Amino acid sequence: MDIGKPPLKTTVLKVDPLAPKPSVIAKAAHLIKSGEVVAFPTETVYGLGADATSDDAVRKIFEAKGRPTDNPLIVHISSIGELNKVAHSPSPRVVEFVSYYWPGPLTVIFKKAARISYVATAGLDTVAVRMPAHPVALALISAAERPIAAPSANLSGRPSPTSAQHVVEDLEGRIPLVLDAGETHYGVESTVIDISGERPVLLRPGPITTSDLSPLLGEFREPSQGHREKPLAPGMKYTHYAPKAPLTLVVGNPNGIVDKILALSKRSEGAKVGILCTDETYSRYPDEFVRISLGSRFAPYGMLRNLYRCLRMFDKIHVDEIYAEGFDEVGINATLMNRLKKAASRLLDSS
Ligand code: TXA
Ligand code: MG
């Protein structure tokens, strides 16, 4: 707790995801309009929102999360028509493109409009914009009558929250209100792309993959391999998503991975060992381990949805170390591996 700051009372209000009650939305919108922060559900993860046009309001987000101030936020809108209020003259080509994907889990970088707070963009002249698909998020932005800047509603460095309970675990006493609409759908943050240059650049993998986007946008340029004239998503330099115990991520073929984890964990005598496995491999680990299955290897979106909840479960059980199975980085599993690698303190090959 910050010295000199008494804890806030954090209210949690349940809200129907399909038909959010106007009175509940009005309460949350009133807080946003008065320059306060509110945690709300999106289809990806819960966000911590504030008025994107107010420096003071946006500063409260950084304070509540303990987020480094050089890491810019995503600005959320509730209709395509609002895009030209947050972005400076977006090109018709780009407006047409985002209309295919919005509302949805895709964030696009634009030149910033003057009214958007430089605190939200961390001093950049560009702004990351997204129109979420969740009815509660859309209703809140619309009732607040202004764009809402919102990062994930976790303490900086912790796994993003996929339920209101996760938000409360991290931010109770630090924010006034959480809108609780149950678990989020994708369970992982939006895809972030920059399409301002000749070739599109993937800044953060997410629910929408480059194979989904390439037919419309052309081949992506790998930010890590290409020229570095453009900054990467500044947030990607920080540790993220990390559970409290050190996590070793093992890659290779699935059987080899299990054998390697069994061999490694034999050396952990006396330690409480957590295994992040899959439905297909669960029974291959002895039951003295804390086994948590991500779901079936044949249902990758399901594994993605479960990932952050599983990482938080290991924290609750207080394991001493975690071994996680890796996946081939194809299709949506590239997004899963991106987050697993960020959670990992060590990466090993099973061969
Ligand atoms: O699904 C999501 O995107 C969630 C929900 C709440 O919408 N939000 C979210 O926000 O994940 P956050 O702040 O945790 O992640 C924002 C990412 C960071 O990696 C940040 O560096 C990048 O977007 N970003 C923001 N503004 C940028 C800019 N102007 N240029 C490049 N990257 C930017
Ligand atoms: Mg985040």
Q: Is any atom of ligand 1 closer than 6 Å to the C-beta of 61?
A: no
Q: Is any atom of ligand 1 closer than 6 Å to the C-beta of 154?
A: no
Q: Which residue's entry shows tokens 């599993």? A: 333
Quick one: which of 104, 62, 46, 74 has its CA closest to 309?
A: 46
What is the C-alpha to C-alpha distance for residues 207 and 134, in angstroms, rounded to an integer?
A: 15
DSSP secondary structure of 53-70: T-HHHHHHHHHHHT--TT
How far does the centroid of ligand 2 lie from the alpha carbon of residue 51, in Å? 18
Report pLDDT for 226.
40
How far does the centroid of ligand 2 lie from the alpha carbon of residue 173, in Å? 19
Q: Looking at the predicted structure, is the pLDDT value of residue 72 above 70?
A: yes
Let me know: does 309 contact 339? Beta carbons within 8 Å: no
Quick one: which of 186, 187, 193, 235 has its CA closest to 98?
A: 193
Interacting residues of 2 by C-beta distance below 8 A, sequence separation 6+ = 63
Q: Which residue's entry shows tokens 């038909």? A: 19
How far does the centroid of ligand 1 lie from the alpha carbon of residue 74, in Å? 5
- Mind listing the pLDDT tens digit for each residue in 140-166? 999 999 999 999 999 999 999 999 999
How far does the centroid of ligand 2 lie from the alpha carbon of residue 99, in Å? 24
271-292: b (≥16 Cβ within 10 Å) or e = ebbbbbbbeebeeebeeebbbb
- Mind listing the pLDDT tens digit for each residue in 273-315? 999 999 999 999 999 999 999 999 999 999 999 999 999 999 9
pTM for this structure? 0.94
Q: Which residue's entry shows tokens 């680990």? A: 285
Our CA dihedral for 258, 262, 265, 269, rounded to 10 degrees, sits at 160
Average pLDDT of the segment spanning 196-225: 90
If you take atom 17 of ligand 1, which residue's CA is the nearest one?
235
Beta bridge partners of 321: 273
Let me know: does 350 contact 253? Beta carbons within 8 Å: yes
Ligand approaching nearest to the C-alpha of 133 = 1
Report pLDDT for 242.
80
